Structure 1
Amino acid sequence: MKKLPNVTGVAIDGRGVLIAGPSGSGKSSLALELIDRGARLIGDDGVVVSPEDGRLHAAPPVETEGLIEIRNVGIVEMEPVGAPACLWITLAKDPPRLPLGPEQRRVAGCTVPEIRLYPSKLALALRVEAALDMFGLDR
Structure 2
Amino acid sequence: MLVAGSSGSGKTALALALVEKFRGAGRFARLVSDDQVFLSVHYGRLLCHAPQAISGLAEVRGVGPVPVEHEAAAAVDLLVRLVPATEVERLPGQDSETILGCMINRLLLAEREISMATPAILARLGITLFA
TM range (shorter): 0.7 to 0.9
Q: Tell me if 1:29 matches 2:29.
A: no
- TM-score, normalised with respect to structure 1: 0.77
Q: Which residue of 1 aligns with 2:61?
A: 71
Higher-Rg structure is: 2
Quick check: which one's helix share is greater? 2
Residues 60 and 80 in structure 1, CA contact (< 8 A), matched pair in contact too = no
Q: Which residue of 2 aligns with 1:109?
A: 101
Please tell me the root mean square deviation across aligned C-alpha atoms, in Å. Answer: 1.5
Q: Which runs of 4+ in 1 moved over 3 A?
A: none
Residues 51 and 57 in structure 1, CA contact (< 8 A), matched pair in contact too = yes
- Per-residue deviation at 1:133? 2.5
For residues 125 and 48 of structure 2, the distance between their equivalents in structure 1, rounded to whole angstroms, comes to 16
Q: Which residue of 1 aligns with 2:123?
A: 130
Moved more, 123-132 or 44-53: 123-132
For residues 11 and 103 of structure 2, the distance between their equivalents in structure 1, rounded to whole angstroms, comes to 21
- TM-score, normalised with respect to structure 2: 0.82
- Per-residue deviation at 1:53? 0.9
Q: Tell me if 1:83 matches 2:74.
A: yes
Structure 2 stretches of 5 or more lacking a match? 24-28
Q: Taking every aligned residue pair, what percent have the same amino acid on both sides? A: 36
Q: Specify whether residues 58 and 133 from structure 1 end up closer, same or farther in structure 2 by C-alpha distance, changes over 3 A only.
A: farther
Q: How many residues align structurally?
A: 117
- Per-residue deviation at 1:100? 1.5
SS in 1 for 2:37: strand
For residues 57 and 81 of structure 2, the distance between their equivalents in structure 1, rounded to whole angstroms, comes to 21
Q: Which residue of 1 aligns with 2:89?
A: 96
